[in-house]
Structure 1
Amino acid sequence: MNQIQLDSELIERVISQERKAQFQLFELTKRMVYSLAFRMLNDEELAHDVLQETYVEVFQQIRNLKHPEALISWMKTIAARKSIKAGKRQFEFDQLDQHHDPVDNQFDSWFDGELLDQAIRALPPGARAVFMLTAVEGYSHKEAANLLGISDSTSKSQLNYAKKLLKTRIQTLLRA
């Protein structure tokens, strides 16, 4: 994934509430925010709502940001929290056996990002949320569990479950 680099001048202009700078920030980061929301929610309408709500909060609260260089991470956190709030009813966590088999992460075939994205969207909502937060966005299990209102062990088992389902789904899609 491309790392978005924002210069300090743009960030300062956004903090000063300059409309052109806000629009420029929006244009530079909207795909990142929407992508995170859509992948967590698997719903275009909800993802657009999260996108809008994220920028409203960013522009209202940016003056309180203590470390402007962390703007992108802060925005992703806001988007993740808004996504979780928007999808709270859909994030159900399947009961899993605590003594599950470890996931074999080896694939015999090549696959592309579109195939992986399709497989991620097919995950159950709870497993998808944990996978997106931990495997894609880099949150710890403790942080993901806190955001989702679940235990650390549930986060870990849901991630393992998601990986197992992804492997099966990708292998099925590759055979098709």
Structure 2
Amino acid sequence: MEIELLLECQRNDRNAQRKVYEKMAGKLYSVCKRYLKNDEDIEEALADSFYKIFTKIHQLQNPDIFEAWARKIAVNECLQKLRTNKALHISLEEYHLENSDFTLENASFEKDILSLLNFLPEGCRAIFNLFAIEGYPHKEIALMLSISEGTSKSQLNFARKKLQELLVHQNI
């Protein structure tokens, strides 16, 4: 992102904010869609993300990390929405969990896997996104979601197993 554009946003320049919105909306929408199923929730999380971005942009110390900073805001807004909807606390006792050897080593599956994420329960999908896509460790995920590390690991294993089953079922 251009430094001058971000400085203009810090001065509340509406044209600069519009340009940043146009450049980032698609990327942040994709982030929100990975976490949320409902279009209304996605749009609300996106709007809340941009509100926070533009009201807190003066706190951004390094313009080189703007996109990562904005993505983190969007992720946090989605997690907040999931917490509000109480979707993060699913009961794993309902499922028989087994260890899975499934990995995301083949990048050609990425698009198919992302579309299959919609079939996961929201809590598992959030943890899968945070761990496999965003790169957060289980300890940090546990703190973010107010769950134990073991729950994070179990839900990740469940997500991997379900994704593997869906991949086999879809012949991907």
Q: TM-score range by the shorter chain?
A: 0.7 to 0.9
Identity of paired residues, percent? Answer: 29
Deviation of the 1:110 alpha carbon = 10
TM-score, structure 1 length as denominator? 0.84
Question: What residue in structure 1 maps to residue 170 of structure 2?
Answer: 173
**1:2-35: CA deviation from partner (whole Å, max 9, x where unpaired):** xxxx122222222222212111111111112111
Indicate yes or no: 2:16 matched with 1:25: no
Shift of 1:115: 2.8
Query: Greater helix percent: which structure?
Result: 2
Give the letter aligned to residue 144 of structure 1: I
SS at structure 1 position matched to 2:92: coil
Q: For each residue in 1:81-140, what CA deviation from the matched residue of structure 2 results, as whole angstroms up to 9, or x when unmatched?
A: 11111122122333269xx64322269x99755532231110011110001111111222
Match of 2:67 in 1: 72
Q: 1:106 to 1:36 in 2, by over 3 A?
A: closer
TM-score by length of 2: 0.86
Equivalent residue letter for 1:79: A
Kept in 1: contact 2:98–2:158 (CA 8 A): no
Equivalences, count: 168
1:63 aligns with 2:58: yes
Q: How many Å separate the matches in 2 of 1:94 and 1:172?
A: 24
Please list every run of 5 or more consecutive structure 1 residues that lacks an aligned counterpart in the other structure: 1-5
Gaps of 5+ in 2: none
Per the alignment, residue 155 of structure 2 pairs with: 158
How far apart, in 2, do the equivalents of 1:11 and 1:171 lie?
46
SS of equivalent residue, structure 2 residue 99 = coil
The Cα RMSD (Å) is 2.5
